[in-house]
Structure 1
Amino acid sequence: MKSNIKMKRVIRKFLISYFLLFRFSVFGQFPEENPPELLTNPDATVVTSNTFKLDQNIHQGFFSGNVITIANNFKMRSNEMTVFFDESGSEIKRLIAKGEALLVQEKRTAKAAQMEYIVAEDKLILTGNPEVIEENKDHVTGNVITIFRNSNQMFVDGHSRVILLRTSQASQDQQQKK
């Protein structure tokens, strides 16, 4: 009886430790400094992950585990990401990031279970409890959020909820947090 209780405690501690280790390793902070490749080539995008598979026959690359994508104008984190290339294999057509995806830009943070980016349209489609926070104040949620980055437009489809804070209200909120 006592050995069963001890074994359950050991298993419980292991599961809690494993969950915390997994949670913080996958969803830890972004690196503080940008990769050095961005200094020499400002148009570069650097992707790191636990594994990477490339299938040139179907023109796809698959990143899995602790996927961190860094470019000069954004940082993105997810559990996995699939990249779809054109027929020549030299240009990215679209990418899909899945699993607690987080996108951080200068004035915008977006979270969703899945993010799809279509390069030709400069369009980002967020699904799975998406939310967008603009300039650390305005907050948008809905079933599907579509952002057209080149025209600075956003469309929310299904159960949209938008919280717009006036500048004075946002300042008061910031002061109260301190």
Structure 2
Amino acid sequence: MILKPSHKMKITFRKLFIFCFILFEFNLHGQFPEENPPELLTNPDATVVTSNTFKMDQNIHQGFFSGNVIAIANNFKMRSNEMTVFFDENGSEIKKLIAKGEAILIQEKRTAKAAQMEYIVAEDKLILTGNPEVIEENKDHVTGNVITIFRNSNQMFVDGHSRVILLRTTQAQDQQQKK
């Protein structure tokens, strides 16, 4: 005998997915301070990084954060076990940063997690590796071997075993879910 899921079962599966996503989101948001650091009020372009330890090596133009690393700016929050920041030869500008170990990034409409995240400043490019996942606008879910996000053009590329789940709803469904 073949069982076909009824309409009621489909709604139940959808509600289960949404519940799991909300639980996932709650756990992610619980890992960050409730309020942004006060430095962001006086300097909106600032990024504040806290960690258990910090080491700077000006000879190789690198900074090393480790243990409970939290980076907060006005447009994102990131958490990882460690982070390496690469500076230019003058030590005045950040060229790239690499966050490793349970890296999580939260932006207004996007949540991402991966074993490693590399951000290349000049290209405004984020490269996610190690079981990367991206959730867009609390609906769409993207996985693959490597996910590359170009933030300035709002483009995303997935290399290797891409899986995309699109959960678009109508405007009426969106309003009903908000109630």
Same fold (TM over 0.5): yes
* Structure whose alpha-carbon radius of gyration is higher: 1
Structure 1, residues 5-40: CA drift from partner, whole Å, max 9, x if none? xxxxxxxxxxxxxxxxxxxxxx95200000000000
- 1:103-114 alignment to 2 at 5 Å? 103-114=105-116
Letter in 1 for 2:105: L
Which of 35, 38, 41 does residue 40 from structure 2 map onto? 38
Letter in 2 for 1:43: D
Secondary structure of the residue that 1:39 maps to in structure 2?
helix
Q: 1:145 to 1:169 in 2, by over 3 A?
A: farther
1:77 aligned onto 2:79: yes
Which of 57, 61, 67 does residue 59 from structure 2 map onto? 57
1:90 aligned onto 2:92: yes
Letter in 2 for 1:103: L
The whole-number CA distance in structure 2 between the counterparts of 1:169 and 1:81 is 40
Letter in 1 for 2:78: M
Secondary structure of the residue that 2:41 maps to in structure 1?
helix
Report what 1:23 is aligned to: none
Report what 1:15 is aligned to: none
Q: Are 1:63 and 1:80, in contact at CA under 8 Å, matched by a contact in 2?
A: yes
The whole-number CA distance in structure 2 between the counterparts of 1:126 and 1:134 is 15
**1:167 Cα deviation after fit:** 1.5
* Same amino acid, percent of matched pairs: 93
Report what 1:102 is aligned to: 104
Structure 1, residues 59-92: CA drift from partner, whole Å, max 9, x if none? 0000000000000000000000000000000000
Q: Give TM-score, length-normalised by structure 2.
A: 0.79
The whole-number CA distance in structure 2 between the counterparts of 1:57 and 1:28 is 37
The whole-number CA distance in structure 1 between the counterparts of 2:159 and 2:171 is 27
Report what 2:143 is aligned to: 141
The whole-number CA distance in structure 2 between the counterparts of 1:86 and 1:61 is 12
Report what 1:11 is aligned to: none
Q: 1:79 to 1:171 in 2, by over 3 A?
A: farther
**1:168 Cα deviation after fit:** 3.5
Report what 1:158 is aligned to: 160
Which of 155, 167, 170 does residue 169 from structure 2 map onto? 167
The whole-number CA distance in structure 2 between the counterparts of 1:28 and 1:49 is 17
Q: Give TM-score, length-normalised by structure 1.
A: 0.80
Secondary structure of the residue that 1:147 maps to in structure 2?
strand
The whole-number CA distance in structure 2 between the counterparts of 1:80 and 1:136 is 27
- Count residues with an aligned counterpart: 149
The whole-number CA distance in structure 2 between the counterparts of 1:155 and 1:119 is 18
